[in-house]
């Protein structure tokens, strides 16, 4: 099958600010790190419904990921950041290798993914990351690690970053389906309100 999609617009926004400021786009307010495991599980539980919908392979715009592509990316983030938390628990201030989601999407041919497989992948990745978070002791939340750009995270802020990431992408996927249902009990973000 030769079904190549154009790349998405590179995402150059600094998403680390959401840890402190929250995110207007998806309604995230800085979360309690101790809730991370439960929130990841709640997000994972929503993907089967999203990926069971019609049109999951269609991009809402040529340069915006399809719901399926967002799901594969979310799986990768749960895997990646869970592993990074594990590294922060095992090592002193580890440095993380560069990771470019757009490159992985292209190389991994996300658009060809099997939805049932991705649902299972997300379930498994979430369980693995939850098991890492379960090992975080009281004094471990402030353990650190650094991204290749020098940005330093703690176990607490990285887990918040991950929670926002998966919740935000779940919303991206729902918006791609034009399904405006509340996400995790919050009102769905809508466009400018009618007067
Ligand atoms: Zn967001």
pLDDT score recorded for residue 50: 96
Closest CA to 184 of 21, 18, 47: 47
The alpha helices in the chain, defined as continuous H runs, are: 18-21, 36-51, 67-90, 101-107, 115-133, 155-176
Task: Look at residue 85 and tell me if it is in a domain.
Answer: yes
Task: Look at residue 84 and tell me if it is in a domain.
Answer: yes
Partner residues linked to 23 by β-bridges: 28
Q: How far is the CA of 2 from the centre of ligand 1 (A)?
A: 33
pLDDT score recorded for residue 14: 79
Residues 6+ positions from 115 with CB-CB distance below 8 Å: 51, 52, 56, 68, 71
Q: How far is CA 183 from CA 46, 67, 154, 174, 195, in A?
A: 9, 15, 27, 9, 24
Count CB atoms within 10 A of the CB of residue 140.
14
pLDDT score recorded for residue 146: 96
pLDDT band at 61 (very low <50, low <70, confident <90, very high): confident
| pLDDT of 178 strictly over 50 | yes
CB 62 within 8 A of CB 73: no
Q: How far is the CA of 115 from the centre of ligand 1 (A)?
A: 23
| CATH for 115 | 1.20.120.450
| pLDDT of 185 strictly over 50 | no
Q: How far is the CA of 165 from the centre of ligand 1 (A)?
A: 7
Task: Look at residue 18 and tell me if it is in a domain.
Answer: no
The whole domain housing 59 covers 33-176
Average pLDDT of the segment spanning 146-151:
90
Q: How far is the CA of 164 from the centre of ligand 1 (A)?
A: 6
Task: Look at residue 139 and tell me if it is in a domain.
Answer: yes
Q: How far is the CA of 112 from the centre of ligand 1 (A)?
A: 26
Task: Look at residue 10 and tell me if it is in a domain.
Answer: no
DSSP class of 23: B
* Token pair 């703690």 in the structure block, residue: 154
Q: How far is the CA of 166 from the centre of ligand 1 (A)?
A: 9
Provide the angle, in degrees to the nearest 10, between the axes of the packed helices 155-176 and 36-51: 20
Task: Look at residue 185 and tell me if it is in a domain.
Answer: no
Task: Look at residue 70 and tell me if it is in a domain.
Answer: yes
Average pLDDT of the segment spanning 92-109:
91
d(CA 9, CA 11): 6
pLDDT score recorded for residue 127: 98
| pLDDT of 191 strictly over 50 | no
Q: How far is the CA of 25 from the centre of ligand 1 (A)?
A: 5
Q: What is the mean pLDDT of the chain?
A: 88
Total domains, the chain = 1
| pLDDT of 62 strictly over 70 | yes
d(CA 140, CA 155): 7
d(CA 124, CA 99): 21
Q: How far is the CA of 77 from the centre of ligand 1 (A)?
A: 14
pLDDT score recorded for residue 15: 83
Q: How far is the CA of 171 from the centre of ligand 1 (A)?
A: 8
pLDDT band at 5 (very low <50, low <70, confident <90, very high): low
Residue-wise pLDDT tens digits, 72-89: 999 999 999 999 999 999
Task: Look at residue 65 and tell me if it is in a domain.
Answer: yes
Query: DSSP 3-state assignment of 135?
Result: coil
The alpha helices in 52-110, defined as continuous H runs, are: 67-90, 101-107
């Amino acid at each position: 099958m030769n079904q190549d999609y154009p790349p998405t617009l590179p995402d150059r926004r600094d998403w680390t600010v959401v840890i402190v400021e929250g995110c207007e786009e998806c309604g995230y307010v800085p979360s309690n790190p101790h809730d991370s495991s439960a929130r990841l599980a709640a997000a994972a539980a929503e993907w089967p419904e999203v990926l069971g919908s019609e049109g999951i392979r269609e991009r809402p715009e040529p340069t915006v990921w399809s719901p399926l592509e967002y799901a594969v990316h979310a799986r990768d983030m749960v895997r990646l950041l869970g592993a990074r938390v594990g590294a922060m628990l095992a090592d002193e201030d580890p440095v993380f290798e560069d990771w470019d989601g757009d490159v992985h999407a292209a190389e991994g041919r996300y658009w060809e993914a099997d939805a049932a497989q991705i649902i299972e992948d997300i379930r498994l990745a979430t369980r693995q990351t939850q098991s890492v978070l379960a090992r975080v002791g009281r004094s471990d939340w402030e353990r650190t690690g650094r991204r290749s750009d020098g940005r330093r995270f703690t176990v607490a802020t990285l887990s918040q970053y991950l929670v926002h990431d998966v919740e935000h992408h779940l919303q991206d996927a729902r918006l791609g389906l034009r399904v405006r249902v509340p996400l995790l009990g919050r009102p769905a973000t809508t466009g400018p309100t009618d007067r």
